[in-house]
Every structure is written in structure tokens, then in C-alpha cells.
Structure 1
Amino acid sequence: MVYFVLLGRQGIELIQMGGVGPIGMGIGVLILPFLGIWITWSTLRAGVRHQQLARRMHEEGLELDVADLPKMPSGRVERGAADELFAQVKSEWEVDPDNWRSNYRLARAYDYAGDRRRARDIMRRAVALEERERSHETH
């Protein structure tokens, strides 16, 4: 809270100085905390949703099992094994691309294969599909 008060006061002081530069900086200083809160909230919300999907997948016995795959010293799945896993999961996904479970598994496979950007994109899709499925169950 102290952080917001200090930033708010600094932003107001900059705006009161007048001039294009200080006013622009003051507005930016006032906006940044809200942007930070929104980014933090979005990240935490996504993490909670991903955990909920992971729990459901585990309960349904559908989580990807990588326990027996060869791993590098860092603990990551070796590239070749991750690529094989990805190919298998992608073929499963192609059969049912509108199922949140197949999207979740594909996102995890992308993650194991090292493609974080696509993993995030597909996981967002899995979350949206699961929310849609849940809303249809309640109606």
C-alpha cells in the first residue's frame, strides 16, 4: 500500500510540474501500479486454473506420464523422447481438437518439447474449453 501512495504522490507531482514530458511521465507513473496489479492477477488466476485442470486430469488418469522417459541431468525430458511424446499426443489431439482434455495434454507435450509459447496458447484454449464444458453441465 505504501508503494501505491508513494507512486501516486510522485505521479501527481510530475503532472503538477506541467509540460508534456513531466505530465506524460506522471500519467505513466500513475498507470504502472494498476498494470502491475492486472498482470499479477492474470498470472495468478491462470496458475490456479491450470492447477485445477491438472487435478482433474490426474483424477481421471489422463495426465501425461513421463516418469519412464529418459531425462537430462537438469531433469528435463530428453529432446528425442519429448518429440516422440509430442507426436503421439498431437495425433490424439487431432482426433478431438475441441476437447479440453486433449488440449491440456497437447499443452503439456509442447511444454516437454520446450515450446513454451505454444504450450501457453494451447493451455489457455484448454481452460476456455473446460469452462465452456462446465457451464453446459450446469445448464
Structure 2
Amino acid sequence: MRAKATYAITAAALIGYLVLAGSRGVLLLRHGTPLTVVFGAAVLVLPMLGLWFLWQNTRFVRRANRLAAEVAAGGGPASGEPVRAPCRPRPDRETADAVFRLRKAETERTPDDWRCWFHLAVAYRDARDTPRARWAIQRAIALREGRGGGGR
């Protein structure tokens, strides 16, 4: 719950900043001189990129949360082992490495099972490898939604 509140506050602050920057861009465009029009157009690019980024990130988080809810409701890994909730504290390094090896082997055995990719993403996160965790959860989302998923 705390993570959701933090995300909402951060998103609201970003939106406020983007609105402020966008309004300055519009003011520059309205001024009408060639220089202010160029600056105004340039200033408007940042809010558009920021909104796109926020939208993409929010979609990703919502999809990942749906997978987490589905796994929590009984979609355990292929090995049948209990699953640690992603929001719980991370295990120590040795435990994280052991679980990672298990999840990686599990995913190699059944590469088309989105649950395995989800659990591999949690293992990457526990191993503090955020880029690969994000990539693995994107793969899980793609598999769950029937889009196959891109290789790396």
C-alpha cells in the first residue's frame, strides 16, 4: 500500500510539473516571435515525453500487479514451491542466489510459462538486478497476454 501511495504522489508531482512546463511553452508560443515560438515548441516536447513515459510506466505496473495477484491466487511456479510475495523484504544474498538458480532452471525447462518468468523476475529483483527483473516481467506479461514475448 505504501508503494502505491508513493507512486501516486510522485506521479501527481510529475503531472504538476509537466502542466507547469507545458503552460510556459504555450505562453512562449503565444508571444509569437520566431525565437519564442521555437523555444515554446522545444519546451512542449518535454511534457509530452514525460506524459508518455508516465503512461507507459503506469501500464507496466498495472499489468505486473495483475500477474502478481493471479500468482497469489494460486498460480504458483512449475516446481510447486512456495512463493515469497514480491513486497516482502529481500532475502540474504546466499538465499537469493540459490532461489535465482532454481528459477532460472525452471524458466529454461518451460520457457513459455509466464509464471516461471514472473518468478524469475522476482528472483532477479531479489538479486538486485533491476534491469533484468523488468525485462523478465515484461516477458511474463507478453506471454500471459498471448503476445509471445521478445527474446533478449
TM-score category of the 2 structures, normalised to the smaller one: 0.7 to 0.9
**Superposition misfits of 4+ residues, deviation over 6 angstroms:** none
Q: Which residue of 2 aligns with 1:9?
A: 26
Q: Distance in 2 between matches of 1:124 and 1:23?
A: 40
Q: Distance in 1 between matches of 2:129 and 2:100?
A: 11
Q: Which residue of 2 aligns with 1:99?
A: 113
- The superposition leaves residues 27-81 of structure 1 with CA deviations (integer Å, 9 ceiling, x where unpaired) of 22112222111111111111110110001111125176348xxx9xxx4311111
Residues 1:81 and 1:27: Cα distance change in structure 2 (over 3 Å): same
Q: Which residue of 2 aligns with 1:120?
A: 134
Aligned-pair Cα RMSD in Å: 2.6
Choose 1 or 2 for highest CA Rg: 1
Q: Distance in 1 between matches of 2:137 and 2:75?
A: 18
Give the C-alpha shift of residue 24 in structure 1: 4.5
1:65 aligns with 2:76: no
Report the TM-score when normalising by structure 2.
Answer: 0.70
Whichever residue aligns with residue 29 of structure 1, its letter is V
Contact 2:117 2:137 in 1 (8 A): yes
Report the TM-score when normalising by structure 1.
Answer: 0.76
**Residue correspondence of structure 1 range 31-46 to structure 2 within 5 A:** 31-46=45-60
Q: Which residue of 2 aligns with 1:110?
A: 124
Report the secondary structure of 1:25's partner residue.
Answer: helix
Contact 1:11 1:30 in 2 (8 A): no
Q: Please list every run of 5 or more consecutive structure 1 residues that lacks an aligned counterpart in the other structure.
A: 134-139
Q: Please list every run of 5 or more consecutive structure 2 residues that lacks an aligned counterpart in the other structure.
A: 1-15, 148-152
Give the C-alpha shift of residue 13 in structure 1: 4.9
**Residue correspondence of structure 1 range 72-87 to structure 2 within 5 A:** 75-87=89-101
1:132 aligns with 2:149: no
Aligned length: 124
